[in-house]
Amino acid sequence: MNPLKNLSVIRKVVQLAALVLLVYGSSIGAYYLADKLSGALPALSCAYDLNGSDLCTLIPFQHQMDHRLGEVIASGGNILMGLMPTLITLGTFVLLFVVLNKAFCGWICPLGTFQEFLHLIGQKLGLQRHESLNANMVEKMRPIKWAILALLVFGFPLMAGIGWVNHDLGDPFCKICPSRILTTLANGETNQLYVDTASTTTLVISLIADFMFGLMIALALTVRQPFCRICPMLALHAVFRKLGLLRLVKNATPRCDRCGLCAKACPMDIKEIHTEMVKRDVTFEDCTLCGRCVEFCRDKDVLQLKYATFPVFSADSKYFKVRKKAQTLWEKNTLKRLIKGEPEKKVKAT
**Residues 282, 209 share a domain:** no
Contacts of 67 (CB under 8 A, 6+ apart): 161, 170
Contacts of 184 (CB under 8 A, 6+ apart): 46, 48, 49, 190, 191, 192
Q: What is the mean pLDDT of residues 188-208?
A: 92
**Residues 266, 218 share a domain:** no
Phi, psi of 311 (to 5 degrees): -65, 130
From 156-160, 290-294, 323-327, 341-345, the region with the lowest mean pLDDT: 341-345
Query: What total number of domains does the chain contain?
Result: 2
**Residues 278, 216 share a domain:** no
**Residues 290, 180 share a domain:** no
CA distance 44 to 18: 11
pLDDT band at 5, cuts 50/70/90?
confident
Contact predicate 292/324, CB 8 Å: no
Domain that holds residue 230: 9-236
pLDDT band at 276, cuts 50/70/90?
confident
**Residues 167, 108 share a domain:** yes
CA distance 34 to 158: 29
- Per residue in 70-125, pLDDT (tens digit) is 999 999 999 999 999 999 999 999 999 999 999 999 999 999 999 999 998 998 88
**Residues 127, 15 share a domain:** yes
**Residues 257, 232 share a domain:** no
Q: How far is CA 33 from CA 61, 94, 340, in A?
A: 21, 21, 48
**Any domain includes 348:** no
Which of 190, 208, 236 corresponds to the end of one domain?
236
Q: How far is CA 186 from CA 17, 35, 129, 168, in A?
A: 15, 19, 26, 26
**Residues 271, 142 share a domain:** no
**Residues 164, 47 share a domain:** yes
- Per residue in 214-266, pLDDT (tens digit) is 999 999 999 999 999 999 999 999 999 999 999 999 987 777 888 889 999 99
**Residues 290, 181 share a domain:** no
Q: How much helix, strand and coil, in percent to the nearest 5, is found in the chain?
A: 60, 5, 35
User: Sign of the C-alpha dihedral, residues 121, 331, 272, 299?
Assistant: positive
Q: How far is CA 149 from CA 24, 45, 163, 172, 183, in A?
A: 27, 16, 20, 11, 21
**Any domain includes 26:** yes
**Residues 289, 185 share a domain:** no
pLDDT band at 322, cuts 50/70/90?
confident
**Any domain includes 346:** no
